[in-house]
Amino acid sequence: MKHVLILALSLFLLKGLFAFDFFFEEEMDKRTISFQSETSLTLYKDAEIEPQATFTFALEQEKPLYRIIGKFTYDGQKQQISTKELSLSLFIGSVQLKGGIFTHPWGSATLMHCVDILNAQDLRKGILDDLEAMKQPEAMISLSVYTESSTLDLLLKPGFSPSYLQKEGRYALLPAQFATVTLQEMDTNTLQNIGGGARYTIRHRWLDVGVLYFNGYNPQAGFENIEFDPITFAPISADLMYTRYQLFGIQSSMTKGPWNLALEGGFFLSEDREGTDLGRYNSKWTYLAELSYTDEKTNAFYALAYQGHYILAFPSSPFAVDMMASYEGKPYANSLAMAIEVPLYREKVTLRLGGTYQIESKGYVLLGGGSYAISDDIELFTKGTLYGSASNMDSLYKNWKDNDSLTIGLKAWF
Amino acid sequence: MKRYPILLLFLLLPSLMLFGSNKAQDIMEQVLKVQQSQSSALDLKLTLIEPSGTTRERRIQTLSQTKDTRVSSVTVFLSPENVRNTRFLSIEEEDGSTSQWIYLPALKRIRRIGTSEEGGSFMGSDFSYADMASTSYDAHEAEHTLLSEDEKTYIILSIPYKPTTYGKHITTVDKATYLPLLVEFYDLDQKTLLKTLKTEQIASIGGRMMASDVRMTTIASGHSTRLEILQARFDMNLPAGYFTTKFLETGRL
């Protein structure tokens, strides 16, 4: 109901029809309303067939001083409306002030990120080939100050949205020992959980480089007050808790001809500096390098990325969250990712292939797909996902190995 | 991810220059001169036409300006819907290199992208990135020869000194307007005709005569692309704010 009211309010605000482009002497107001529908059938490895139908409507109101964006998706299967974005931006000289519910990306790479931490991940549909689609929009305020060759980005989050913790179902995330545990969730969207940060980016010829800082909460839950069954000693209840941390990071992107090298890295300084609180995540280093190449003749895009992290004061208790999230008790984790995208037949057909390999667990996910533009507004698409592991070590990829799937669907824009 | 173009001053000319004292070079110099401007704003429609007659449309608007012989351009993609509001910025640096950034609305971020001298197909059309790129080339890039002339036209052969995509161009120039009426693009072997660019209409737009409706045809496939200039303005004062990553990210000056 809340979403319906928000939508009705947005529609009320967005009245009038204007135009805006370079060719008017003065900037004019503009309103754009667009719709996108996506219907698909997914066949899983266990023979389950899952139909899906989503309908996205976006409203954009432009005036010289402000922009309002409302973007909502209706899921026909779940009969739910979700807000993808509801924001108001003010433009004053070289300053943009934006507030509302939205996603705000940091980082310079394409396939993976290690400093893109402002929005929690949404893994309820598994691992997708679209990083932005795996983010949860959150309430925040951003202030961007632009100069000719630099941008200062200030962010304030009045609270935070934790990562969805699927306890059961196809894409369950919880460790096996917590699958039947009663979890007490906390309200994280309060001013007590305020977070904020800044990023300063400069551009010089072939190089973009940015330094960033954030002080807020890790959206991944930890556990405290764990109660055990006195007979089986299995955990039966726990309170969810979250770790406040500071991130000191960098991002950069440099080009040479058709090549692009993106680097990201950072130090997450946990509030549990000594690493003594089992329920909180410890401090860690993270690092990422991505090399991509765009073929001049075909416009095909190729990318290879490496990402890793190293946790400090790594705990030995099996109930420490860092231990639970690790691969066989190692304080480090390293992953490789690759992606290829090839447009064919004058961009009527696009083929995509991507994959991630987690080195310690030998777990992997392969994503393949293609799309065919029937017309400018209708696209037929198919995609396949393959999870697996070359070892018996527990990992998300191994746990989801029965979620291999093949999807075929249709997208339409209006 | 898509590869986006080095856009665009004005297109339609074979990318060959034209210095020297012979008649062909003088003609080609005049061809370039009538279409040169310090700044321009173009509203373009590309219609991709299959051999079967099926069509698809793309709309773009582009601003460009030349300052101290360096070209900056910004392009906004208007349609189709799935690329709407994609914005592309290209800035020629002092050392002659080009920096390019793209803003993808779906990703909500600016990405620096690599540059290409030639590029592949522009938005799936029969125009390559090179075909669409700036015509402000350095001198002595091609040798021009007058093949023939009649009452209304000159026919000129242009052979680049450093051929990359094309081995030669043959251009039919309208004597009255010095606009190209037909350009034939040949392969590096200088024998195989790859593409033709035919002017369908000449009109006065933005206060000057222009080839306002042209069609590029790829000979081997029979596929063609019609490019129409819907609106154009020239030599106006463009705020420098258009050629910044701020405009790329916000769509605002």
Q: Is the pLDDT of residue A375 over 70?
A: yes
What's the confidence (pLDDT) of residue A12? 36
Mean pLDDT, range A344-363, rounded to an integer = 93
Q: Is the pLDDT of residue A17 over 70?
A: no
Q: How confident is the model at residue A146 (pLDDT cuts 50, 70, 90)?
A: very high
What's the confidence (pLDDT) of residue B133? 57
Q: Which of B252, B240, B112, B91 is nearest to A94 (CA)?
A: B252
Least confident of A77-86, A247-256, B12-21, B26-35: B12-21
Least confident of A398-402, B33-37, B242-246: B33-37
Q: Give the sign of the dihedral formed by CA B205, CA B208, CA B213, CA B217.
A: negative
Angstroms from B250 CA to nearest CA on chain A: 8
Among candidates B108, B123, B223 on the partner chain, residue whose Cβ is nearest the Cβ of A347: B123
Q: How confident is the model at residue B226 (pLDDT cuts 50, 70, 90)?
A: very high
**Residue type for position A321:** V
Q: Which residues contact A358 (CB under 8 A, 6 or more apart)?
A: A327, A333, A334, A335, A364, A395, A397
Q: Is the pLDDT of residue A114 over 50?
A: yes
Please give the full DSSP string across A218-250, using - where no structure is assigned.
-SS-EEEEEEE-TTT--EEEEEEE--EEEEEEE
Residue A303 burial (10 A CB sphere; 0-12, 13-18, 19+): buried
Please report the domains of chain A, with CATH numbers, ordered by start residue.
Answer: 166-413 (2.40.160)
B140 and B158 Cβ atoms separated by less than 8 Å: no
Mean pLDDT, range B221-236, rounded to an integer = 91
Q: How confident is the model at residue A229 (pLDDT cuts 50, 70, 90)?
A: confident
Selected residue of B95, B238, B245, B248 to mutate for chain A interface (largest A Cβ count, 10 A): B245
Q: Which residues of A touch B57 (CB under 8 A)?
A: 376
Q: How confident is the model at residue B15 (pLDDT cuts 50, 70, 90)?
A: very low
Angstroms from B98 CA to nearest CA on chain A: 8
What's the confidence (pLDDT) of residue A199? 98
Cβ–Cβ below 8 Å for A105 and B81: no
Cβ–Cβ below 8 Å for A346 and B48: yes
Mean pLDDT score of chain B: 82
Mean pLDDT, range A327-355, rounded to an integer = 93
Mean pLDDT score of chain A: 88
Q: Give the sign of the dihedral formed by CA B120, CA B122, CA B126, CA B132.
A: negative
Q: Is the pLDDT of residue A123 over 90?
A: no
Q: How confident is the model at residue A29 (pLDDT cuts 50, 70, 90)?
A: low
pLDDT in tens, A290-326: 999 988 788 899 999 999 999 999 999 888 999 988 8
Q: Which of A72, A63, A62, A55 is nearest to A5 (CA)?
A: A72
* C-alpha–C-alpha distance, residues A249 and A254, integer Å: 17
Q: Which residues of A touch B104 (CB under 8 A)?
A: none
Residue B18 burial (10 A CB sphere; 0-12, 13-18, 19+): buried
Q: What is the ipTM of this complex?
A: 0.80
What's the confidence (pLDDT) of residue A24? 54
What's the confidence (pLDDT) of residue A10? 36
Cα angle B236, B239, B241; round to 5? 150
What's the confidence (pLDDT) of residue B13? 43
Residue bearing the bigger pLDDT, B9 or A270: A270
Q: Is the pLDDT of residue A397 over 90?
A: no
Q: Does A95 touch chain B (CB under 8 A)?
A: no
Q: Which of A89, A100, A136 is nearest to A117 (CA)?
A: A136
What's the confidence (pLDDT) of residue B11? 43
Cβ–Cβ below 8 Å for A347 and B114: no
pLDDT in tens, A359-371: 999 999 999 999 9
How is residue B84 written in tokens?
């709407």
Taking residue A385's Cβ as centre, other Cβ atoms within 10 Å add up to 23
Q: How much of chain B exceeds pLDDT 70, in percent? A: 86
Mean pLDDT, range B213-237, rounded to an integer = 92
Mean pLDDT, range A70-83, rounded to an integer = 94
What's the confidence (pLDDT) of residue A209? 96
Q: Which residues contact B216 (CB under 8 A, 6 or more apart)?
A: B125, B126, B127, B131, B195, B196, B197, B224, B225, B227
Q: Is the pLDDT of residue A270 over 80?
A: yes
Q: How confident is the model at residue A244 (pLDDT cuts 50, 70, 90)?
A: very high
Mean pLDDT, range A117-134, rounded to an integer = 86
pLDDT in tens, B140-164: 678 889 999 999 999 999 888 888 7
* C-alpha–C-alpha distance, residues A356 and A338, integer Å: 7
Mean pLDDT, range A232-258, rounded to an integer = 91
Q: Is the pLDDT of residue A391 over 90?
A: no
Q: Give the side-chain half-sphere CA count within 13 A for A137.
A: 15
pLDDT in tens, B101-133: 889 888 888 888 776 655 578 888 898 877 775
pLDDT in tens, B159-188: 888 887 888 999 999 999 999 999 999 999
Selected residue of A21, A22, A128 to mutate for chain B interface (largest B Cβ count, 10 A): A22
